[in-house]
């Protein structure tokens, strides 16, 4: 938590532009650029790719917001439904965004009879960049805070730890892209390792509410178990199943250089 940091990059009259929003916009642009141009190289229709990008972004934002409200303020659906659409107040869920983008992308691809597996792989670069940048945006918003410790440095830098997870997964993506991999493997292995790293490292030091056991080590600043940690084994099993399924049924491809 750095109180001197302003969450606003600049203002235009009454309009305030947040650093968080800028980082998120850059993430969308990087991911969309890579998906669009590399998809074209594979012979996928240009209009389909452009529409897919728009659909996935909308679905991701809607899913991120609904999941955030559902897991934090479910009573809004009854008491204050208008507040659900007030995105400018903050509050988005990574898992909700990933699920919303995935479902809308799969649905749109099936309507147009386009195989989704390679497109999922091409989305990984944007996802890794996005996770790294958005966690930096959390610093400006003074959110996603780490737990206090007695180790001499105050709070754990949970945002930096999360950002480093994104960087590690980006490096992994770049190293694996030179190999011949089954279509879909890159995406589901990203989901697997992201959830593993986040559940073990980021969530353990993040100052989130605890839902099971509720154990906190005040000296080390570690807490177990958050809602994300509880969901981690199930997400790992699902991602692992899809990883192995891609090896059995997927056709082998080599991802293009970014």
Q: Are 148 and 154 in contact (CB under 8 A)?
A: yes
Least confident of 82-86, 125-129, 182-186: 82-86
In angstroms, the CA 55 to CA 51 distance is 6
pLDDT tens, residue by residue, 104-120: 999 999 999 988 898 99
First-residue to last-residue Cα distance in the chain: 34
Q: Note the pLDDT of residue 247.
A: 83
Q: Are 168 and 190 in contact (CB under 8 A)?
A: no
Q: What is the mean pLDDT of residues 197-215?
A: 93
Alpha helices per DSSP H over 142-177:
158-176
Q: What is the mean pLDDT of residues 58-66?
A: 94
Least confident of 81-90, 132-141, 149-158, 219-228: 81-90
pLDDT tens, residue by residue, 20-60: 889 999 999 999 999 999 999 888 999 999 999 999 999 99
State how far the alpha carbon of 249 is from the alpha carbons of 44, 67, 110, in Å. Answer: 21, 31, 17
57: Cβ contacts below 8 Å, ≥ 6 apart: 28, 32, 101
In this prediction, residue 253 has a pLDDT band, given cuts at 50, 70 and 90, of low
Decide the pairing of beta strands 15-18 and 222-226. unpaired
């Amino acid at each position: 938590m750095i109180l001197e940091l302003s969450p606003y990059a600049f203002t235009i009259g009454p309009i305030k532009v947040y650093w968080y929003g800028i980082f998120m916009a850059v993430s969308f642009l990087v991911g969309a650029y890579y998906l669009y141009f590399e998809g074209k190289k594979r012979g996928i229709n240009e209009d389909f790719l452009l529409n897919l990008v728009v659909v996935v972004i909308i679905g991701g934002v809607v899913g991120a917001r609904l999941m955030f409200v559902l897991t934090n303020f479910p009573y809004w659906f009854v008491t204050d439904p208008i507040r659900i659409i007030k995105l400018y107040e903050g509050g988005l869920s990574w898992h909700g965004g990933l699920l919303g983008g995935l479902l809308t992308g799969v649905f749109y691809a099936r309507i147009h009879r386009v195989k989704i597996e390679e497109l999922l792989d091409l989305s990984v670069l944007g996802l890794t960049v996005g996770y790294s940048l958005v966690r930096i945006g959390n610093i400006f918003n003074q959110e996603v805070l780490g737990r206090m410790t007695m180790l001499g440095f105050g709070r754990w830098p949970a945002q930096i730890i999360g950002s480093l997870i994104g960087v590690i997964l980006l490096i992994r993506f770049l190293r694996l892209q030179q190999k011949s991999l089954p279509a879909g493997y890159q995406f589901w292995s990203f989901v697997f390792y992201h959830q593993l790293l986040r559940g073990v490292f980021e969530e353990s030091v993040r100052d989130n509410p605890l839902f099971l056991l509720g154990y906190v080590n005040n000296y080390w600043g570690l807490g177990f178990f958050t809602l994300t940690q509880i969901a981690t084994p199930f997400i790992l099993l699902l991602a692992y199943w899809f990883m192995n399924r891609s090896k059995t049924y997927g056709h082998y491809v080599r991802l293009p250089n970014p």
